[in-house]
Amino acid sequence: MKSTLGTISLWFLTTWFSPSLAQDRLFGKPFATRAVVMAQNGMACTSHPLSTQAAIDVLRAGGNAIDAAIAANAMEGVVEPHMNGIGGDLFAIVWDAKTKKLYGLNASGRSPYTLTLSELKSRGFTHIPAQGPLPVSVPGCVDGWFSLHKRFGKLPIERILSPAIRYAREGYPVHDEASWYWDNMIARFGKLPNVMSTYAPGGAAPSRGELFKNPALANTLEKIAKGGRDVFYKGEIAQTIDQFMKKSGGFLSAKDLADHTSDWVQPVSTRYRGYDVWELPPNGQGITVLQMLNLLEPYDFSKIPWGSPEHLHLFVEAKKVAFEDRAKYYADPAFAKIPVNRLISKEYAAERQKLIDPNRVASKIEAGNPALKDGDTIYLTVADGEGNMVSLIQSNYRGFGSGMVAEGLGFMFQNRGEMFSLIEGQNNTYAPHKRPFHTIIPAFVTKDGQPFLSFGVMGGSFQPLGHVQIVMNIVDFGMNPQEAGDAPRIDHQGSSEPTGEKMVDSGVISLESGFPYETIRALMGMGHKFGYTYGLYGGYQAIMFDAKNKVYHGASDSRKDGQAAGF
């Protein structure tokens, strides 16, 4: 009996507590935080549980994925105002089950007509400031909602916005991340008009777990629900914005708002090991992802382990090559000729790959010549029982945004105009009625013409790096969607930027904990430099579709306060 018990105990210790297993779980990678969520009738993955539940409620009420995504985004503007809201911009990729096609929406706003480059330079600026009225561009979010709804929606917009209106009016408990950002926002913007009355009516930022109400935002959303997009861009709200900006020394006007339109755009793709990865074309940075994947595809990652020096070195060097093109070419296509097809071609990648030394860091890289042969943010994803899927991202840019809050409206305006360059002659140089370079990017993956993965990784310039890591984690390293998001992440800072900054030496790598020290030591031997980045590794949500079993697999980033849920 003792021998048998000893054998069982030894089996228990060596099997259940094997280092290959995920801590005290029975399956998964060591870094996995939770299992994938599976459901067949609908799925929503957002960075806040109330937003996920708003989407699920709309799906259960007969709405489709587009309706539910709008509901979730509206709720996000209520419960995560530090990341997004109706003062910001929106991009989306929609998989329409009826036509079996992808549709892209660019709902980003343009700069004011009356603000000029010469005006900015006369004030002594070398960069557009991050706060105040000057970085404010037209908020595109609301028009984005109505553009999506007009083309694909089912339920009335009043029903879709009702959860956000209710929580804005009745209140919700402030979560951990929002509480942290809130304290910093009050210190930064507290003396600006209407900030305290809107976000700290009691005289201080709401603490973690405290109930917060935003009745002004509830009223604004209610007006939008009843009066449509025109009440925001041509009606009462537009007039309030116009008057506030004039009083604040700003340039955004009623005409800027009235002339705003969103654009339906064709998503672009590259094939990576049999998977078609889709992004939106500029003025966003999505094609950086495609350029990086093209540079990495020739390497055989079935023989290069995850987390190895070879893996990280090739990833970082590909990023540096692609980011130089990003800095030079990406901008509003209405103002600059951008050779998108050439930039994302395999032939161009083969030329640029020559810049990658497999054994040594590159300290200087220039942008290529692709024309030689060819003329703080939220992400959410929703899927429904009909097969529709939405990949949606929306942002105010830095934290809460510009610090500009119009009286009685309940939201802060974005500071996306900060992303313009003030250097004359560049693709992204400031001009009136021009869209700035944008960091927020939704993504989608298809396989054999069928939807495979709707995903995104919020986080400024980190987003292309996050997208590539997710694709590689799933395709190259065999991870499931939750593991792909939980895996420790790689960041690299120091590349050239569309705002005019130039590459700094070889840049600096920052790693989340979980990479072997041997890898870091080997990379240092190759010339890489390491630094520390706090909280800048993005936030990920994803829905994978299992076409064989007709089941959705949802994932939500453990770095955020979010939730993946289905039914």
Give the pLDDT score at 545.
Answer: 98
Comparing CA positions, the residue from 115, 130, 383, 382 lying closest to residue 245 is 115
d(CA 477, CA 482): 13
The mean per-residue pLDDT over the stretch 445-467 comes to: 96
Do the beta carbons of residue 539 and residue 555 sit within 8 Å? Answer: no
d(CA 61, CA 59): 5
d(CA 381, CA 389): 7
Domains and CATH numbers, the chain: 44-264+378-419 (no CATH), 291-375+458-557 (1.10.246.130)
Alpha helices in 97-194 (DSSP H): 117-122, 141-152, 157-170, 176-189
d(CA 296, CA 311): 10
Element at 490 (helix H, strand E): strand 490-493
Give the pLDDT score at 399.
Answer: 81
Cα Rg, the chain, nearest whole Å: 23
Give the pLDDT score at 25.
Answer: 64
Count of CA atoms in the C-beta half-sphere (13 A) of 60: 10
DSSP 489: -
Do the beta carbons of residue 248 and residue 193 sit within 8 Å? Answer: yes
Give the pLDDT confidence of 244-264 residue by residue, as tens digits. 999 999 999 999 999 999 999
Give the pLDDT score at 10.
Answer: 42
How many other CB atoms are there within 10 angstroms of residue 157's CB atom? 21
Handedness of CA 542, 101, 159, 77 (dihedral sign): positive
437 in helix, strand or coil?
coil
DSSP string, 265-314: E--EEEEETTEEEEEPPTTBSTHHHHHHHHHHTTS-TTSS-TTSHHHHHH
Q: Which residue has the tokens 């986080």?
A: 459
Give the pLDDT score at 534.
Answer: 63
Give me the percent of the chain exceeding a pLDDT of 90.
86
DSSP 363: S
Give the pLDDT confidence of 360-418 residue by residue, as tens digits. 988 777 787 664 333 368 999 999 999 999 999 999 988 899 999 999 999 999 999 99
Residue-wise over 270-296: b if at least 16 C-beta within 10 A, else e?
bebeebbbbbbbbbbbbbbbbbbbbbb
d(CA 406, CA 76): 20
Answer whether residue 32 shows pLDDT above 60.
Answer: yes
d(CA 171, CA 365): 51
d(CA 469, CA 476): 10
**Average model confidence (pLDDT) for the chain?**
93
Give the pLDDT score at 23.
Answer: 54
Give the pLDDT confidence of 145-167 residue by residue, as tens digits. 999 999 999 999 999 999 999 99
d(CA 32, CA 301): 21
Kindly indicate the confidence band of residue 350, based on its pLDDT and cuts at 50, 70 and 90. Answer: very high
Alpha carbon 53 to its chain centroid, in Å, reads 20
Give the pLDDT score at 368.
Answer: 72
Residues forming the active site: 377
Answer whether residue 6 shows pLDDT above 90.
Answer: no
Comparing CA positions, the residue from 82, 49, 390, 295 lying closest to residue 206 is 82
Lowest mean pLDDT among 98-107, 432-441, 529-538: 529-538
pTM: 0.94
The mean per-residue pLDDT over the stretch 471-481 comes to: 98
DSSP 208: T
d(CA 549, CA 148): 29
d(CA 142, CA 262): 10
d(CA 392, CA 66): 10
